[in-house]
Structure 1
Amino acid sequence: MNKGRVEAYTDAVVAIILTIMVLEFKTPDNAQWEEITRQLPYFFAYIVSFIFIGVAWYNHHYMFTLAKRITKKIYWINNLWLFSMSLLPIATGWIGKFPLYANPEYFYLLIFTFWSLTYRWLSNAISKSPDHVNSTVSQKIEQMLPFRFLNSWFFPLSVIIIAACIYLIPLLGITITLIELIILGVSTTNDSDQITK
């Protein structure tokens, strides 16, 4: 399968998801500051989701740049991964409207977990495809922090901890998610900004 076409399709879907999220911002009804400050909860949720998509895209781009070939299996797992990400605007909007309630936070955690599982499946599929198994590609993918985190016991433990925190203080859910995303965004592999093919 043409890798460039799959990458272009993925980029287009990601751009649409970002566009949908930014369109949730409402133009204030008047010129008073309090009109815009009413949207601060959504703005915070939007920032987290924007970072989420940015980190996801960067790591996805790195994996696809390493990949020699995109199989039919990888293509369909990639579609499932995109589907999980397409649910993010709903979760972001719900948290933005009700930032102090547990149900929107649990829904965001559910989407984040679904996305994480599909990303883990995708990275494993690329790493273990016949073209990549036991190669430099496989080694580089398996050295990525998201790969190591999602394939370790830390991942289910973090989901349980975040769920418990949401029960106690709902706003902690998206706040802890933001911290995780910042760590994943900063801790990229050494060559992630040097690969150009």
Structure 2
Amino acid sequence: MMNMIDETTPIPATEMDQLGEWLTEDCKSRGMEETIRAFLGEPFGRWMDFLADSPSGVDGPEGARGLSRSDILAIAVALERAMSVRDALLVSIVAGEDRSPRGFLMDFMTNPMHPDNSRRLEEILKDSFRNVSATPDDARCDSGVTMMFDIIEMVPERYQVQPLAVISYVLWWMGDERAMLCALRALALDEDCSLAAIVCSAVHRHIGPAWTSET
């Protein structure tokens, strides 16, 4: 009888490392655009669906809010290997699909150096920071943070760094004092995590997005 992997079983580092090496090699041989679209297409679609509205009838790990073990594996590996994936997932939480459609976010993940893609992502982030009317969608942010924590619970420490950094940014953007704790945890795991360092600096200097009235 074939053994089935429990959806709640933590993912071992060896499995993640092997998949990460395959992803890197496939990007080299087939190109980043084709590889990332094939690798993340379905997991990213479910990620976006849940941010908008929790999907019904989806089996996943206990508390994984719609993401299956294979979704978590793919997203965590991609987060660790490609900063464009981290940035796109971050924007998907703070900006909403009306301002950052999933088609654009996939384009950015697969081709972040294209001037149109990089400029548009920068403009979305700047607007969320500078526009006083750009207030958080609490339900969307909570869903994104929850899914990131679900990823953290399933993966080894090395793969927790970028999810923690994303969580710290989202919490900072929401005006949540726990942002610093998550950023410090990310830096404890990887002192070179730039996003976590940015959040730490912003919190320390009492800098927040425009809607919080901090400058």
Shared fold (TM-score greater than 0.5)? no
- Structure with greater contact order relative to length (CA < 8 Å, sep ≥ 6): 1
Which structure has the bigger radius of gyration?
1
- TM-score normalised by length of structure 2: 0.28
TM-score normalised by the chain length of structure 1: 0.30
Kindly indicate which of the two structures has a greater share of residues assigned to helix. 1
